[in-house]
Amino acid sequence: MLKSEQTRQRIVNIVTVVAFLSSFALAFYLYKLGIFNDDNVLKSTVEAHPVFGPLLMIGLQIIQVVVPVVPAGILCASAVLIFGPIWGFIYNYIGIVLGSLILFHMGRQYGKPFVMTFVPEKTYNKYLSKVDKGKKFDWFFFWMIFAPVAPDDALVLIASQTRMTYKFFTFSIVIGKIFGVGLYSVAWTFGLEWLKKFL
């Protein structure tokens, strides 16, 4: 039984590492194409694949969460521009939630050295005192996820180093991201309408 468990764990580790490295490679490739810094390139790519466009957008959002060095703003904005406020919100939401779950699991799987690779020491130390408060940190995390300006990826990785359960983390992300992503989508919708008045 022990050997079987060790084999299963080894397989999980290998799959996780391969998926993470693949995300980095894909992110670099997409960056070279200009998708992450030019919404026109992203729009033309999505429109060229109408069937897989939504899946592409969701996949890009997952990547920008799992690979924290990828800018998120242009993807969220582009989803609203390309698909409209409702479907743009839905695709953003699904991708960000799935990406957050993956990132939390990876942080828990590989520990503090992995977390510190992406979280600045200043940010980690800022929340360290709250981490030691157990359940209080859980609810602190829950409310911070609601805030659009919170460093979500950093908080997800820091939370992975606490005793927070997968159940509570999933609850926090699923509920909290509705507000955060929704607010972002609404802001872009009204922002575009406002800009049209001057064009």
Asked whether the predicted pLDDT for residue 186 surpasses 80, the reply is no
Q: What is the pTM of this model?
A: 0.73
Domain that holds residue 59: 2-196
Tens of pLDDT, residue by residue over 21-46, are 665 665 666 666 665 556 566 667 66
pLDDT at 197: 60
Q: Tell me whether residue 24 is exposed, middle or buried, using C-beta atoms within 10 angstroms of its C-beta: 0 to 12, 13 to 18, 19 or more.
A: middle
Total of domains in the chain: 1
Asked whether the predicted pLDDT for residue 133 surpasses 80, the reply is no
pLDDT at 71: 60
Asked whether the predicted pLDDT for residue 8 surpasses 60, the reply is no
Asked whether the predicted pLDDT for residue 19 surpasses 70, the reply is no
Q: What value does the mean pLDDT of the chain take?
A: 76
37 touches 44 (CB < 8 A): no
Tens of pLDDT, residue by residue over 93-122, are 999 999 999 999 989 988 888 888 888 888
Q: What b/e string do you get for 106-134 counting C-beta neighbours within 10 Å, with b at 16 or more?
A: bbbebeeebbeebbeeeebeebeeebeee
